Structure 1
Amino acid sequence: MYKVIVVDDEPAALVLLCSIIEKKCPDYQVVATAENGREGLEKVDELLPDLVISDVSMPIMNGIQLVSAIKEKHPEILSLIVSGYSEFEYAKAALQSGVCDYILKPVIPSEMKKTLDRIGEKIRGYHYHHRNALVHQICNGAQCAPEELKKYFHYERYYCVIVRRNGLPRRFSKNNSMEIFSDINEQFIIYGRDEMEALYMIPSEIVGGNSLEEYLERIVKKLDVQREYVTTVYHKEALTPAELCNHIKKLYHMLDAVSVVGKSQMFCDKECEKKKSDSQDYSSIQMLLENLEYLLQEHQYEKARKELQRKYSEWADEGKPQLWLEYAARRILYLTSKYSEKKLPIQEGEYMLEDAFFFAATSEELIGSLMEVWFREVQESGQNFKLDSQDFFDSVENYLKSHLSENISLQSLCKKFGVSQTYMGKLFRKYAKQSFNQYLTAVRMERAIKIMRESPDIYIKDVATRVGYADQFYFSRIFRSYMGVCPSDYLEGAKY
């Protein structure tokens, strides 16, 4: 509900305005009234409303002066001038002072409602953008002022849940990631560090008397994942906005601790403590490294490969978390590079390892990709060098663009062209200067833009389907993150 302060020196007019708002405008609540501009400004400073409705002609400080002062001190607060003066100069002065609208006395309730409905859309948009900024701060470890959280988080309590598809976010090639925010029309607050993740802040009123776990299962089911695994971590109790920052940080740490390649899981925070302690023993990695170094020194590469395959399969069966396997993979890469004639640049090695963990949908796929990184000299055959050309990459691009409506994955693309995931990822970095996911998203968004320009009356769900998104809201989140505006606003602009 939006907070309003009404300022008018005529008691009857003041009562009328408050009555219209109470009866006709359920999205607004009058939190204070004042009889002159100075008193009104004091209450604005104290209560920080969303809207100030003010008469023009008042003693001590008139409405134009009040609006100017509010605009200077609190630019986010909107103002509406109500006056019996219809002269153009008053309206012009009000608009120049920063007022967002201007209506005349005697006030007609239906006109007042239309005006406040119009202003309400502006306030809603402002709240949405400001809330997204707060969500970004919270999820990146920054503290937020309690009064801001109370104002822009409209519910008293929220359940917090992270749903992650496939591997953990990239940490080296962060420029390949795109922050995702919920659509303005969604009931949830959603934030993703990239397009594979969603942190849901679900108002407790929406869950109601249902089981939170059952509610979460429905959310995961709606994702329509096929070749992907999903990791879900959540806080069992609903939190106040002020409690969000610390608990969301803990949820991210939980996700790091429990994410297992190829295994869909759901954990609440209390279930994760034992999982964390179980992943602290690195003695088996050290034993493997000692054995591996001996085999590499003796040029027994096939035995080294079999030992790595055996050990990673064993660790996968044990449910070792991704971060644990990543640590081992980097130590192994250091050793294989040490005994290799072709030195792999450190940055390229990190990118290749990230691709392996980011895209692998199963432990078998992960092991296969890691083998290519560790033993790249053996994998780089003459055929692969022939495939490493602009013409070959052009054929990959053409295939993607002609199959955008399908559920395309890196795995399916590699199967189509007969190359490995590691190799395909390397091609995208070389020729597109982007990751596969980033490139595919860009192509889909540009196609969506073209469709909306050509058919501005099209339904958003139809646009989403034509560019490969089964979920309209997910498409809207991606589109807004890519374009800076939601699809409905873009469509509206395309009509003119």
Structure 2
Amino acid sequence: MRILIVEDEIKIRMGISRLISAHTQHTVVGEAKNGKEGLEMINRFHPELVISDIRMPVMDGLEMLQESVKMGNNCHFVILSGYSEFEYAQTAIRYGVDDYLLKPLAPEDVTQLLDKIQKKIDAEEEESIQTTEGLLREMLLGGKKDVTDICRKLLKTGAFAEKTPVFVLAGYVGNTSTKYSRSIQQQFEKMKESYPELNVYPVTLENTQEIFLLVQGEISEEELERKLTRRLYQNLTEEEQPVWIFAIFDELEEIQENVQKMRKDYLYGIRMGYREILTEEKIRKVPVEDFQYPVHLENRIQTALCSESSEKLKKECENFLKYTKEMKCSPKYIRKTYKKMLAFLENVCHEVNQQAYKLLQNQDLEHLASEKITEGELEACFQKAVDTILESKDKKEDIRNYAIRRAINFIREHYSENISLDMLAERLEITPEYLSTLFNKEVGINFSTFLKRFRISQAKRLLKGTDEKIYSIALQVGYNDPKYFNRVFKEEMGISPGDYRQNN
């Protein structure tokens, strides 16, 4: 089940998302902070379930629900409420809300409710399968039903003729506006009226953001492609990137298996553009060069990240986008290039910018990129990572040397362990003498002094904020000998740890 979460409190929003990911097999397709954003995402992602708070700024949950229904969206709603809003939540059910969840949320409450909604959806799908559109949806989605049985039912209803070619147009519209998708649906409905001699069946798959058109009858492939081209590329903005693929099959039963191949070929829009219908013949003619990953750009982006220069980072990221536009390899490798670069950005941030690293981990952009279809979607994914890094630069230290930033981050994570200059230099693959020189140059103090002061700062935090014994605190900050810890602490602070705790 595809789920959208709409909640103005970010901690609750992210908490529900993590809970669903950890305890269920369902997919969170988006998160919105108010009803207006939520409505835009409903129209774009067509979730099967929306989990929404009631009271939010800009547009509340009930307004969003009512507007969504007016727009013809068909999804289930569950609202979130506190005990103080309990009666309001019950009233909301009369507006078409399926159920409600009371805060604070328990994992079992969420999983039980999701199971209940899933059963509703399964029952609705079972009922819809009995219609011609339902049978076609099941076939195109590759559902549980046997394709031979589906085709037999379609032939029995007279929707399709036996042993007659079927034209299939498959379209991915995930990188277009809702207005465009609706106009295409209207165009296809008009075709049904304009050509009564043809069997014309449009099918929209909201979950995968695809639109299909199946046509059977006395019309040539060239004529049909010409009629479709005229309808598919009207009133498109420059940013919109619909992908349309056209094929013809001799038997109805061939469609399900071949649609899977058509889906893989959506990626060829990256190479061929988004203003012509693709066919297998056109795709075969696309010249394909060997794949070369831009390692040289990795090095330059790493240097820009470590220099903390926003302008340098922006420039090198623009160079990366330019490089991907000029790649002549198979489009699956172009997508792979984005995935590898996103993973690289995360790895570098792990070393030099922990704040950005945590945000990138939560966004899971590398995984998201593996599901993207168009050039615009991949660029947006990459740009989101870059924006995250630019907005969360670590401003605590003005340290420009990559090795020193890695060294300091290692100390932050391992200060309770036995750390030496030699050990850290070996880890960074540089000499101890060079590491010592870098520390003095970039930090202004030597390695041992920095380590000592960092450990003492952690000890002060524990002395003030906990009741733990002093010998226990000594162990936690890397001193196995409590007497030595007392001496170092007094040298640094002028008083003993016990006196420091008493004074604070």
TM-score normalized by the length of structure 2:
0.39
Higher relative contact order (CA 8 A, sep 6+): 1
